[in-house]
Structure 1
Amino acid sequence: MTLPILSPDNILLNAEIDNKESAIRLTGSVLAENGYVDDDYIEKMLEREELSSTYMGNFVAIPHGTDDAKQSVKESGIAIIQVPNGVDFGNGNIVKLLVGIAGKGGEHLEVLSKIAIVLSEEENVQKIVNASSKEEILAIFEGVN
């Protein structure tokens, strides 16, 4: 399986976000606007964050829904939001890159692992945070299959 289609429509550059809840809502709204999830998936993303933080380290958070959110997923999708000035995810954790995930069926774990490969390299995270175009970000992710 390759990553779900990542199109320029799924990427937001230079977002200014005040807090964690706004960050998660924005990430979810990109997934919803592009037809990957129903609107109620966003609430499931917030519920998931209450259970345990989706902050992964290295300035990255990967917000996604709870296990019972699967019925709200229409098809697997990814949203990428660049937040150069950062948003506080609590406990001093600053997030500069939000990667929202919606996985259909059991695909979310495979999608997560592929994204983790890209984001485990600090150099890739810096390139994505500093990218000045959506195409630059797409090129980084397209190197993974």
Structure 2
Amino acid sequence: MKERPNLVLAVVAAVVVLLAAVAAFLAANRQPPDLDPSTPEGTVQLFVRAVLEGDDEEAVGYLDPSLGCRAPLPDLYRPQGATITLVDSVTRDGTAEVTIDVTEQAGGGLFGSWSHRETLRLRAEADRWLVQRDSWPIYSCR
């Protein structure tokens, strides 16, 4: 009679593990919403996406020309995949600071990723925003 409660407990535990795995898979493969490109947040999203996809021409278009960056960008680390999450955005007097959490995937498996927080600084120019200073993932163009 004691075998039946153990079997029920094992089945419940297996279902919980399966649901957790499905939830993790869905969360990892969820596409983020496209942000308004006329905002600092949208500019950061487009800039990071261009860098990660290797579109150096587009990425340079989001950078302040005073940085001296040109395509092709210098050798830089490009993760195999990354998930970017907006943490905070502060805009004042024509400047902005956009803070993001970056989760990089370096291969397969549950432990093949790590996270870090980055803050990108932007300035307004006419009807768009430009990334200022050397920031992640391009620390220097010189």
Give the TM-score, by structure 1 length: 0.29
Q: Decide which structure has the larger Cα Rg and report it.
A: 2
More strand by share: 2
Higher RCO, 1 or 2 (CA under 8 Å, sep at least 6)? 1
What TM-score, normalized to structure 2?
A: 0.30
